[in-house]
Amino acid sequence: MTRYRDFHRRSIDAPAEFWRAEATRIHWETPFHTVLDASRPPFTRWFVGGRTNLCHNALDRHLATRGQQDALVSVSTETGIERRFTYAELYDEVNRMAAVMRSLGVARGERVLIYLPMIPEAVFAVLACARLGAIHSVVFGGFAAASLAARIDDAKPALIVTADAGARGGKVIDYTPLVDEALARAEHKTARVLLIDRQLAPERLSASYLVAYEPLREQYFNAHVPCEWLESNESSYVLYTSGTTGRPKGVQRDVGGYAVALAASMEYIFEGRAGDTMFTASDIGWVVGHSYIIYAPLIAGLTTVLYEGTPVRPDGGIWWRLVEQHKINLMFTSPTALRVLKKQDPALMKAADLSSLRALFLAGEPLDEPTAAWIQDALGKPVVDNYWQTETGWPIIAIQRGVEALPPKLGSPGVPVYGYNLAIRDAGSGERCGPGEKGVVTLGYPLPPGCMTTVWGDDKRFVDTYWSEMAGEPVYSTFDWGIQDDDGYVSILGRTDDVINVASHRFGTREIEEALSSHAAVAEVAVVGVADAVKGQVPLAFVVLRDAQAAAAPDDRSKLEAALLATVDRYLGAVGRPARVHFVAMLPKTRSGKLLRRAIAALAEGRDPGDLPTIEDPAALQILRSVLEGG
């Protein structure tokens, strides 16, 4: 581990020197005068004074050398449509989109909310924002109107870009009613909504704020929009992540630090080379999609594959056939997707020619050992787990094969990535834990380039949520439990807060509780995450009704459960829906009224809830047991 240890140590001991060298990977229109400004903890500024542009680094600078190379390959198994764009063609489409946005009033510093399915126009829109110096805020297309409205009110966009519909698993999801409802709910009134008409749902162009994209695209077909050169620390985007309260946090990202971090990660972590093809099976609504579908592959000169569909439609071999058809070199997905594929006919994987594939990368949730062992044996290629967060924008823990190909260890995503001063600390004292001791995974100040700079519009929330003084130094909490062994490998053991990972999607249990509480029949509710063999975790809801007789009969319980689940769908979308709603007479609480969530989760998973000396009424635990045993 000599090379890795020396490399990592240099990044921690001399961060300015280390990142000065890495900054040469991107184009700077104006050179920076200061690599690192850490004068105002916990806020950090990287490459101060330097001016650059993410779109220029992703497209313009490649035109002379790889203009005819494929930049984007879009595959939809929902519509059966495949579209390919060279770097030159993608450049043209982004300029058209930028010109359209500019004509609708989008300017430097304005926010643009992007609510689109996995279609090429989503990539055009993101890169057009970067070109204009606008701040994009992508909202996952599966989110419901209430969640969309909350993000509209927080980001206050000048423009919303959406489509008539998305599709998943053969089902068409009409987006325009969701946007209509969100705009009706939101206090901020967005002037324009740009509509990409896929002709999947009834056209709705009668609303005064709706503008059709295609006619404007034709009008600006030959447009060239110059890049806005942004100071490195200006904002590139805001991406909302769940928290322990119902109010989502807008993770704010910079420009220069993010570009440098992604460019370096493509070599050191993903071993991506210009001309390679990378398939990241995620969604642009999540940080993995921002970083490793759009920005990082294009900055590094790769071809990126954009996929609309599921891993099992038309059958469980579709992803492996994509690898063969497009000669994919790097693939990135989640453990949840692998657990789904594990259940498919193994002949489907064996039937595909996977000789082009060099490695499979995984992130989003802990990788369980049985799934890790299965995919390693079935694929016969390196399987590289990695751990990170929306907040960091790129991996915190991984085997950095481009630095040194350390042997993987089942159950661990690897060792701390260069730039991250990682420590496992005791949750009470803040002291560093010894090898094998459980503690909170923390990061020292300053965070490396590419990490969040603050919470959008709320510096105090950034400080209060993530940073505290431990042992006399500012420390960032990941809110994950972990242990580190004698060799430096870190294993993630779960959350310290009330955020759960559902198939790699993060949800605050409080968000789901607030949705359920909005139903008139609900008096109290507790939502906990419980282990699930496929999704990693699923939310389980326990509801106390205002009128206990409302769920006295089995038919009444079924109808009420369906109504409550439909309420969650309206607030959060189907991705936030609990696996079950259990009706109980009381919830276990402390004498001070705090819900004993960990005890509830333990009972739901069939574990001993442990000694609970502060519980107000022990009978609540027996009620829960009875309900769970009764199904």
Percentage above 70 pLDDT, the chain: 95
Contact present, 559 and 597 (Cβ < 8 Å): no
Tell me the average pLDDT across 110-134.
Answer: 98
What distances in angstroms separate CA 180 from CA 148, 174, 177, 198, 439, one per listed residue? 10, 11, 5, 18, 46
Contacts of 425 (CB under 8 A, 6+ apart): 431, 432, 433, 439, 440, 442, 470, 471, 475
Residues 6 or more apart from 214 whose CB is under 8 A from it?
Answer: 197
The stretch 552-565 carries a mean pLDDT of 86
In this structure, is residue 599 part of a structural domain? yes
- Specify if 386 maps to a domain: no
Q: In which domain, by residue range, is 513 found? A: 505-629
Question: Residue 137 falls within a domain, yes or no?
Answer: no
Q: Two tokens at 25?
A: 């990977």
Specify the pLDDT at position 246.
57
pLDDT at 218: 98
Token output for 43: 């806020």
- Report yes or no on 178 lying in a domain: no
pLDDT in tens, 351-401: 999 999 999 999 987 787 778 888 989 999 999 999 999 999 999 999 999
Judged against a pLDDT cut of 80, whether residue 39 lies above it is answered with yes
pTM of the model: 0.84
Residue 598 placed within a domain:
yes
Instruction: Tell which residue, 534, 552, 540, has the closest CA to residue 606.
Output: 540
**Helix 145-155 to helix 554-572 angle, to the nearest 10 degrees?**
30
Report d(CA 571, CA 577) in Å as an integer.
10
Nearby residues of 64 by Cβ (< 8 Å), 6 or more positions away: none
pLDDT of residue 453: 98
Q: Nearest-CA neighbor of 406 among 263, 268, 260?
A: 268
Average pLDDT of the chain is 91
pLDDT, residue 244, reads 47
Q: Does any domain span residue 90?
A: no
Q: What tens digit of pLDDT does each residue of 489-533 get? A: 999 887 776 667 776 676 767 678 878 888 988 888 888 888 887
Q: What is the pLDDT of residue 441?
A: 96
Evaluate if residue 476 carries a pLDDT over 90. Answer: yes
Q: pLDDT above 90 covers what percent of the chain?
A: 66
Query: Could you tell me if residue 615 is inside a domain?
Result: yes
| String of DSSP letters for 597-618 | HHHHHHHHTT------TTBS-T
Banded pLDDT at 204 (limits 50, 70, 90):
low
Tell me the pLDDT tens digit for each residue of 305-332: 999 999 999 999 999 999 999 999 999 9
The percent helix, strand, coil of the chain (3-state, each to 5) is: 35, 25, 40
DSSP class of 595: B
**Count of domains observed in the chain:** 1
Residue of higher predicted confidence among 405 and 586: 405
Q: Is position 578 within any domain?
A: yes
Q: Give 62: exposed, middle or buried? Use CB within 10 Å, 0-12, 13-18, 19+.
A: buried
Q: Which of 6-20, 176-190, 429-443, 555-569 has the highest mean pLDDT?
A: 6-20
| Per-residue DSSP letter, 549 | G
Domain harbouring 523, CATH code: 3.30.300.30
